[in-house]
Chains A and B, each alone.
Chain A
Amino acid sequence: MTQSEPIFRLEGVTRRYDDLTALDGIDFVAEDNSYIALLGPSGSGKTCLLRVIAGFEKPDEGRIWFQGRDITDLPAHERGIGFVFQNFALFPHLTIFENVAFGLRNGAVKVAEKDITERVTSAIEMVGLTGLEDRSPDQISGGQKQRVALARSLVLQPRLVLLDEPLGALDANLRNRMQIELRAIRERLDVTFLHVTGSETEALAMGDHVAVLDQGQIVQYGTPDAIYDSPAISDVALFLNRFNLFDGRLSGGTFEGPFGSIPVADARPNNSDVYAIRYDRTRIFDKDAVDLPGPALPVRYLASEYLGSSIVFLFETEDHKTVEVDHHLSLGEPRDLTVGENYTLSWDPAQAIVFGKETAR
C-alpha cells in the first residue's frame, strides 16, 4: 500500500481533567483519504481525543497538525474539520434544508444564494433525503437525522470528518445499513473519516485502519485483520471480544494456567501474564477424551446461543470463569451438549497468543 500524505498528525497530545489523564501523550499519523476507526472502551478518552482534534477542547500539551498546518491554537470554527455528533445535534428550530445550509450561510466564506441552494440540494440528495427539505428535525426518524448531520458536515467539503459514535443511537438494522452507506459516501468524496466507536465489530467492519485506544494511549494501530489476528497486548484482545483470556504465570518458556502447564514458544510483552485463544479456535471434547490437540481445560457446559451462521457455547471453568466457544455451522453440525455436564476444551497451541511480563525465549 502506498503511503499518502498524512491528513492529520498528533504529537504528544495530552489532556488532563484535574487528576484524571484522559489523553496521555498521543502520537498519531492518519493517512489521507481513508476510513479510520478509533476503538476504545468507555472512559478510554476516545471522545476527548475527537473533541481535541475538532478544537472544542485544548490539549494541555502536544501539537495537532492538519493538512501540514499546526492548528493547535486555532478555534474550532476556523479549522474546517467536520464533526458528526452522537446525538446528531441538529438545530431544532431550522428545517432540514436550513440545517444543511447552516455552514454555508454562517461560515467565514460568503457563499452566493444560488450556490447554497445547489450545494445543499446535492448534499441532501447524496444522503438520500430528497423531498424532506422542509421538514423540521423532530419530524424525521433517527436514521434520517443521522443523514442530515452527515450532509450538514459534508456540504462544506471538509478533508476530515470526525464521527463520534455516529451509529450508537440507531437500532441494529439501521446500523448495518448506515455502516455500508457511510463507507460508500466516504469513498465517493475522497475524505478521511475518523470514526469513534466502542463496538469492536463496528470498528473492524468499517475501518480501513483501526486504532485501539486504552487509558488515553493508542495501544495498537493497524488494519482490522492485523488487529484481529494479532492483538498487541492483552487489553486489545479483551476489547475485541473474540478471545478467551486466561490469567496465569509465564516463566522459563512455560505458561501455568487453569489448563495446567504448557510450553510456550514466544510471548508478547505485556504488563501481566495472559494466555489468549480465539473463541472460534477453541474446540469441545468429551470429559475423558485422550486425543486432544493441545492443553486440556476442564469445564462445565452452561448454555448456547444461536447466531444464524454459528453457535456460541458458553462454559464455566472450575474457578467460575466463563469461556466461549464459537462453532461456525459451515464446519458441520455442532455436537449435542447437556447442560451442567463436564467437558474438556482444547485447541492447537500454535494458534494461541501468549502475553507475558518476561518476553520468553
Chain B
Amino acid sequence: MSAATSNRDKSNTFRLLAPGVVWMILFLVAPIMMILYVSFWTQTTFAINSTLTLDSWRNFFGSEAYVGALWTTIRLWLIVLSLTLLIGYPAALFVGLLVKSKTLSTILLVLCVIPFWTSFLIRVLAWRPMLGKEGAINIILQKIGLIDSPIEVLLFSELSVIIGMTQIYVVFMVGPIAFMLGRIDRNIIEAARDLGAGFGRIFWKIILPLSLPGVVVGAIFVSVMVLGEFATSGALSGRKVNLLGNIIVTQVGSLKWAMASVVGVILTILLGIVVAGFLRIVDLKREI
C-alpha cells in the first residue's frame, strides 16, 4: 500500500469517526466529568458554590442511611438478577430452542413484549391492585381457603419491589438468551446426542456455553436498569426501600446537587465495575 492511500484511509477513518466522537463527548463524557466535578462542590442549605470540598463525600460515607442504600441497591440487584436468570433462562430455552416452529417462537417472543405496550409506570402501578391487602392475590388465596387473613408483606415491602422489578426486567433476560439459543445449529445438538451425551450433558457442555453471550448481554441489560432504578421502589415499597436512584431523586428534588452528584458518581462506578465484570466472562466481539 502506498503512503498516499494509507493517508487517505486514515483521514477517512477520522471523518467517519468524528460525528460519533463529538456526540459521545458532548453527551456522555462531558456530563460525567461535570457530575464528578459538582460532587466536590460546596453545598449549603439553599445554595451551591464551586469551592472544592470533600464534605459531600464524607457525608455520604458517614451516613448509615446512604451507605445502607448502597447495600440495599446491591442486594436487590443481585436478587433480581438471579430471579430474572432463573425465570428467564428456562423461558428462553423453551422459546429459542425447544419450540421447533420459527413462527411459534416469534409469536411467543412477541407475547413477552406485549406488556411494553403500556408505559413503564402503568406496569409498575398495576402491581398495587394485584399485591395489596385487598388485592387480587390475597382475595384469591382467601377464596380458595389457603390463608385466613391477607398476607400484608406482599405490598409496600422489599418483596413487592423484587416482584415488580423481576416481572418488568425478566424479558430483557429472555430476549438475548433466546436469540443466542435460536442461533445454535440443531445439528450440533444432534451431533452431541449421537456422540452419546444425554440431555443434561448436552445442556451443560453445549447449550449453556453457546448461550452464555446471551446471558451476559441479558445480565448487563438487567443490571444497568435495576441499579439505576427508582420508580419501582418508589411506587411499590411505600418509601421503605431506598435505592441509590431514590436518593438521587430526593436530593435533586431538594436542590442538593452536590450530594446527588456524589451518589451519581458512585452509581456510575458501580455500573462500570458490574458491566466490566460481565464482559470478562465472554468475549462479545467474537460471539456477535
Contact = CB atoms under 8 A, between A and B. Distances in A.
Contacts of B193: 55-56, 75-77
B197 A56 contact: no
Interface string A54-90: 1110000000000000000001111111110101011
B195 to A, nearest CB: 3
A106 B205 contact: yes
Contacts, number: 72
B192 interface: yes
B187 A85 contact: yes
B147 to A, nearest CB: 45
Contacts of B206: 91
Interface in A202-234: none
B197 A107 contact: yes
A81 B192 CA distance: 12
A83 B196 CA distance: 11
Contacts of A195: none
B209 A102 contact: no
B152 interface: no
A55 to B, nearest CB: 8
B196 A103 contact: yes
Contacts of A109: 196
A89 B196 contact: no
Contacts of B194: 54-56, 76-77, 79, 81-83, 153
A131 interface: no
B249 to A, nearest CB: 43
Contacts of A89: 185, 187-188, 190-191
B188 A102 contact: no
A92 interface: yes
Contact of A106 (B185, B187, B188, B195): B195
B187 A153 contact: no
A149 B192 CA distance: 11
A78 B187 CA distance: 17
Given A91-B206, A102-B205, A106-B205, A85 B197 contact: no
B210 interface: yes
Interface string B181-209: 00001011011111111100110011001
A80 B210 contact: no
Interface in A134-155: 149, 152-153
Contacts of A55: 193-194
A91 B196 contact: no
Given A93-B210, A106-B197, A56 B205 contact: no
Contacts of A116: none
B190 A56 contact: yes
Contacts of A87: 185, 187
A55 B192 CA distance: 13
Contacts of B198: 77, 108
Nearest to B196: A107
Nearest to B197: A106
A186 B187 CA distance: 23
A156 interface: yes
A75 B192 CA distance: 13
Contacts of A106: 192, 195-197, 201-202, 205
A102 B187 contact: no
A80 B198 CA distance: 13
B197 A83 contact: no
B203 to A, nearest CB: 11
B197 A102 contact: yes
Interface string B56-99: 00000000000000000000000000000000000000000000
A109 B201 CA distance: 13
B195 A93 contact: no
Interface string B113-124: 000000000000
B177 to A, nearest CB: 16
A156 B193 CA distance: 13
A124 B187 CA distance: 22
A75 B190 CA distance: 11
Select the residue from B196, B197, B206 with max chain A CB neighbours within 10 A.
Answer: B196
Contacts of A103: 195-197
A238 to B, nearest CB: 30
A155 to B, nearest CB: 9
Contacts of B187: 85, 87, 89
A77 B197 contact: yes
A149 B197 CA distance: 16
Interface string A182-205: 000000000000000000000000
B117 to A, nearest CB: 36
A92 B202 CA distance: 14
A77 B201 CA distance: 11
A83 B190 contact: yes
Given A89-B185, A89-B187, A80 B196 contact: yes
Contact of A77 (B185, B188, B196, B205): B196
Nearest to B184: A92
A87 B206 CA distance: 17
A85 B196 contact: no
B183 to A, nearest CB: 10
Given A87-B185, A93-B210, A156 B196 contact: yes
A152 B191 CA distance: 10
B210 A92 contact: yes
Given A83-B190, A89-B187, A89-B190, A102 B210 contact: no
6 contacts: A76-B194, A77-B193, A77-B194, A85-B191, A93-B210, A103-B195
Interface of A: 54-56, 75-83, 85, 87, 89-93, 102-103, 106-109, 149, 152-153, 156
Given A89-B187, A93-B210, 16 more contacts: A55-B193, A56-B190, A76-B190, A77-B194, A80-B196, A81-B194, A82-B194, A85-B191, A90-B191, A91-B188, A91-B191, A91-B192, A92-B210, A102-B205, A106-B196, A152-B191
Which 3 A-B residue pairs are closest in the complex by CB-CB distance? Answer: A107-B196, A103-B195, A89-B187
